[in-house]
Structures are given as C-alpha cells and as structure tokens.
A and B are shown apart, each in its own frame.
Chain A
Amino acid sequence: MHDQIITPDLVAQHNLTDEEYQAIVAVLGRAPNLTELGMFSVMWSEHCSYKSSRAFLKKLPTEGPCVVQGPGENAGVVDIGDGLVAVFKMESHNHPSFIEPYQGAATGVGGILRDIFTMGARPIALLNSLRFGSLDNPKNRYLFKGVVSGIAGYGNCMGVPTVGGEVYCNDIYNHNPLVNAFCLGIARKDKIFLGRAAGVGNPVLYIGAKTGRDGIHGATMASDSFDEGSESKRPTVQVGDPFMEKLLMEACLELMEQDVLIGIQDMGAAGLTSSSCEMASRAGTGIELELADVPRRESGMTPYDLLLSESQERMLLVAKPGREGTVLDICKKWDVDAAVVGHVTGDGFLRVKDKGVVVAEVPARALADDAPKYERPAAAPSYQDHLQSLPLDVIPEPTDCNAVLDQLLASPTIAHKGWVFEQYDHMVQTNTMVRPGSDAAVIRIKGTDKALAMTTDCNSLYCLLNPYLGAGIAVAEAARNLVCSGAKPLALTDCLNFGNPERPDIMWQFILAVEGIVDACKALNIPVVSGNVSFYNETKGLSIYPTPTIGMVGLIEQADRALSQGFKAEGDVIVLLGETGEDLGGTEYLRVVHHREQGTPPMLNLDREVALQALVVQAIEQGLVQSAHDCSEGGLAVTLAECCLSAPAGPLAASSRLLGADVTLDAKGLRRDSLLFGESQSRIVVSVKSESLDVIRSFAAHWQVPFVVLGVVGGPNLTISLHDDKGRATTWVDRSCRDLDILWRGAIRAIMESGDRPR
C-alpha cells in the first residue's frame, strides 16, 4: 500500500472529525492510507451514513400488509395486486442544483431513476418537489429555469413522464433551493432485484458509462453548509447523459429478464465505493475489485479518483457463476460498456487492487454501516414563541376580497404551473389519466383495471411554525390529495430537508417533524417504505425552513373511476366536506397580503381526517362525485377558483369551458378572511350531480363529517357571498372566470418571460 502521511489538516479537509478519524484507525487497527481515508470520508458523510438521523428514523412505521420491501434497499416496494408491485422513492439533489442548476437537477432525476430500475422495475412516473426564493429575483429565475430544463432534459429523453409535483417560492430558499425528485416503477412481484453481493466467487461486473473525474466528493459536498465560495464547488457536480442512462436502463431490464443476476446496485453518491461495500455488507460478504479493469474515460486517474468518482449512469452487479458472458452480450447489444471488475469473497473485506497491488483494504460492513451515530443536542429556538404569536386584532379584515383572491392566484406557490410542466413530457408511455396540475397525478397500469395516484406535499412554513404539526399536515394532505383522485393511500416515501444538524434548534425541528410523520402515518395507517435525509441546507448561517417532503402513492381499483379537481358540468351541486375555523396562522394569505410568516398552523385532528378520507373514497368508488379538490394554500376561495379554472386542464374534462360557481357561506361569527382564505385542515370541496346529494349527505352523517352545501356550478363568474348572523348576504367575491384564468395561468410565465438576466 502507498505510504501517505495523514495529517490533521487532511482529515479536516475530508470533513471528518478527530473522533471519527480515531474510529477509523480503530476499525482498521492502523492508520488509513489516503485512498481509504477518502472512502471513509464519503461513506461516513452525513449524506451516505445518516449518522445524525438514524436513531430517529427508526421510529417511522415501516410495516403494513402491502409492504414488500421497506427502507434499506434502493427503493421501497408495495404490492398492488395482479402479481405486480410499485417501486418508489424520493431523493434530494439540493446542493448540486444550487451550484449548477441544469446538471444538478438532471442528475437528480438520473439518480432516482436508477434507484428504481435497479430493483427490476420499469419507471413509469416522475414527480418533483421544487423550492426557490422569490421569482422577482433574477438569480432565482435563473435557478428555476435551469432546474426545470434539467429535469425536462433528462426525464424527457428517458421516456419517463414527469406527471406532477409542486413548486413553492419563499425567500428562505434564496441561497439554498430544494430539488426533490420522486420516481415510481412497476415490476413483477416475483422479479424484484436487490443490492446483495451473495455467493463467494461470483463475478462482479461494472456496466454503464466510463468513469471520469466528475463528482468526486459530491457526497461530502452535500454534507456541508454553503458559504461565499460555494460556486467554486461546481466541479463536484456530476454531468448527466440521459441517452446513456436510457441504454443502461434497457440493458438492465433485458438482463433481468434472463436468469443471470444475483444482485445489482447503482453507483450513486460515493460511486464504486458505496455500491461495492453496501452490496457486500447486505449479503455479509466481501468484494475484491481490480481497478485496472474499470472502464475509464481519461488517463492518469488514481485509485482515489476511481473509487470516489460520481460519474453518472453506472451500475455494479453480481452475476451467477458462468453467466457473465450473457451480461456482456446484452450490454454489447445496447452499446453499453461492461467489464468483469472483481469477485465476491467470504472474508468481509472490500479489497481494492490496482494491477494486482492492494491499494485499499477495509471491512465492508464498517464502511457501509458502522459510521458513528449521533444523538445531537436539540432545543427549541428562542424565536419560536415570537413566531407562533399572532394577535389577530392587528390584522385588518380585507375590504376588497376580489383583489386578495387575485393576489393569491398570482402567487407562484398557488399559480398554475403550466410553464413548468409543459416543458416536461408528461404523456409518454400513454398512461397519464390525470395530468399535472390536479391534486394528484393518475397513471393507469396497463394490463390491469387499476390506476395509481401519486403526489408530493409539504408546507414548510407550517413546519417552521410547528414542526410536529407541519409534518403531520404534510402526510395528511398528501393522503387527502390521493383520496381526491379516488385512490386509497398505500405507502409513502419521505425526503427530509433540514439545516445544520449540529445546531440544537435544527435538531429540535428534525425530531419533532419525524414525530409528526410517525403519528400521522399511524393514524392514517400508511407505512414509510423509503426515504432520504438532506441536512446542511444552510447558507451563510441561514437555514431553510424545515421541509419534510412527503411523496405518497395510492391505488385506484377501477381506473375509470379516477377523478380530477376541476368542475365538470353546470348545475352540479358544490359541497364542502369538513369544517372551517379561525385558521389564519401560517397561511399564504397572511404571507402574501400581510407579509407575516407567523402564528400557529391550522390544527390537525387525525380522527376527523381519517373519517373525511374514508367518506370521500367511498363516495368516489360508488361514482357519486364529479370532482374533488383538497382545500390547502389560499383556503376555500382559492380552492373554488381552481375548481372553476381546472375544467379544461384535465383530459377527464369533457370540454374546454371555464365553469363558474355561485357560492354562499354561513359566516358563523368567523372573520371574513378566515372563511375565504383560512387554511383549516381536513376539508375537501366536491361537486356532485343533484340526484346524488342525498346519498352523499347520508354517507357524511355516517362518518360524522360536517357537510355543507355551498352552491352550484355554472355561469361565467365565481361569486362568493357571506351570510351574517342576521341572515343578510353580502357578495365579497365576484370575478369573471376568464379574468381569473388569465391571471392564474399567466402569472409564472409572465415572471419567467420578463426578460431579465441573472445578476
């Protein structure tokens, strides 16, 4: 082995603490060489090891009747019947996307796709959850545009439709945008592949793109905060080649049709090092690699470079003995590089040779699983009380509610996202039943009568104000979105984006958010099957709001019963299921109109939520509902407006009309802004044919869900009148749908095409 002096400086440059270094020395029984130090630094990074979060993630419920594979593999797997499984996961690519938005986002999509097809599933849908600072700032527009193009560039070429997601804008993400990518694939239940290097002597093969020097220490970079020099880290961002990945995917799926593979894993963060040590660790074996056989695209690469490179579009696989020829043949058909680079051993070591000389020799398990685990100190921040206080008497009730509605519909968080999803091929594979822009995307499953609904959700302002409640609401809202499309929620994946875990206030946010997810999952009976934690989302000491994004998947037994959010026909009766309270804390209304990010988020009563969702699933299954839309950001007025304006967007809509609505609310002593723009939880607006009204009313009574007839669909305008306690009605909202549509549909496009260049 090479003799290198490992100095404290070198250890610090590798983002390892002195204690961690001593732990490495203890594991090895000697000092590591530079290559080994590099391997430990990436595998023991926060990004790869979950060293600050593991202790808490254990509390997440991961079992359920549909769960085939929970967390710990490349992705989670749930049974959807007919001998099929859905394989899905969500992952962050935040840091690279800030440094280089196009490639950062593109490789985020590439990485999550590999996680899915590695398991033997053909990817059928992508979603993404994006967060940026205000689009008034040219730098944020540059980032937004780059990220959207990157997602489009990769997903479109792969032929996997991007069918949904979310975009939130808040200045807290100015220097740390979030890019969370979700992918779902379908596999046969008896053909799931795992990342296990079993069978001593079996050949280890490398397939895919050649290795270059790109992305070295990407995982370490993702485990650090940002400062002035972050843009100089651009070389740590990988460069994606979706065409190569398309070939790799087809080659892998064809290989999986043959009986040749023992295990397979993609080379994501920490590349060759992570794939080899994790596969060996899971199987309780070792792996010996010969670096001279690794395909490479440049000369002069050291073992350190080869082991830490995060070049994209690569896979490591273990073949059945004697079947490596079939692997090489199929790769040749697809013009994909492939080489035998080692074999499985029984001694538990990841042993790396370069032309026969051992250059690294590390216990695989220590590298993959024995990173130190931390229970870091946690404490509520001193500013929390101030954040949660909201004296309503200082908030004047709006006198021009039309203007408030306009303002909210044009807020990028609420505005129509056509500018985004029209750049994504959201129809390829011909399964998209409900297109982007509704509560959930709906994808039919060919060869069955079924469809899957999927969504991503998180209101991070709620999570700032009350991490427990905010995270619980993210789970409840995701489930509610699925239910609105007619689906029963099956399982979720989470992508937990937080600041620096070494800060007690951030750890406090994290712990409470996880508890919020745990309790909501238990109440709604939804297990967590995969996930990802992204810490250190902090720039110059300013942390993002806690953003535990939830990606959830639900099953629709009868695909033709799937529903979209837009009103369908004049004369349908509009009903609010659920109850409106004085819930203005943390609302988009308060943020956009009164410039306050304050208060307590709306309360979440999980029993009520369960009843509401059961009611709506039942009503949709029986074909009684024409449209269903969850009440979220912007409250009831925005929800109603979106129902009016969404009629043409979904292919399920019969025609391309805008459908107005005439609505009357009983004030019940509530403030006008709470009634119109408050964000009380557990509410769904449905439209029903008048002949179905009584049946739904009786269902609602059975489930003890408040049931209020709001009005009827029809006319060119959205009008909302409030009845005061003396029975007098006053019209507070009266806007033509045509005007609202122009505003809502045009807002993001207008900002993005305003022509400013980034500073």
Chain B
Amino acid sequence: MAALTAKDFDAIKTSVQDGAKNWIRVGMSTCGIAAGAGKIYRALEEEISRQGQSVSLRTCGCLGMCYAEPLVEVCIEGLPRVVYCRVTEDCAREIVRGHVMGRKLLQDYILAMHYEEAFS
C-alpha cells in the first residue's frame, strides 16, 4: 500500500466515520476470549448470515469490564448504542433477531458504563 502522507489523515477519518452505521463489536482480548467471546462471535456471524442481515460485525479490544465479559456493543440507527454483558450464545442470536431485526433492546443484559474521556 502507498505510504501515508499528511493529506491522507482526514480522508481515512472520514471514510471510517462514514462506514457502516449499523454495527456489532465483540470484545476479543484475552479476557473476552477466556470468557467465550470466540463462540459468541461465531454465533453472531452465523445468525447474521442466516437472517441475511447487512450489519457489520467486528472485533475490538478490552473495555475494562472484564468481570462482565463477553461484552458485545451494538449500534443500530434509531436505537441507543448499548453494551451487552455476560452474553451467551442464545443471547447473541437474540441480539441479531431482537435488537438488529426487531429493533428492541434486550432485557437484563445491558451494562451501563460510567467514565469521562480525557480528550475528545
């Protein structure tokens, strides 16, 4: 790939931000994987393709709430962005059916997080 130059920075930022508006992210650091995030990722992948959804499925690092792993963050336009915790395979399938397709937030799995960001 071509070497990055100063003017590429804004273009990359715009293209990432304009990327998928509907996405699911699975925490896949050692803590998440130990808690079964690999299985959860596969369950989500299967259910998304079975239901023919176009939601973007990605991995990310550790959010810090290791006690509540596996963590799955879901962003669907029109719904608040939420983090589901202690996700099971059944819950993963329900995320696709209920949250992505049914546009409903799942009961009893949301983890609220409180922190401020040091810079924006």
Chains A and B bind each other? no
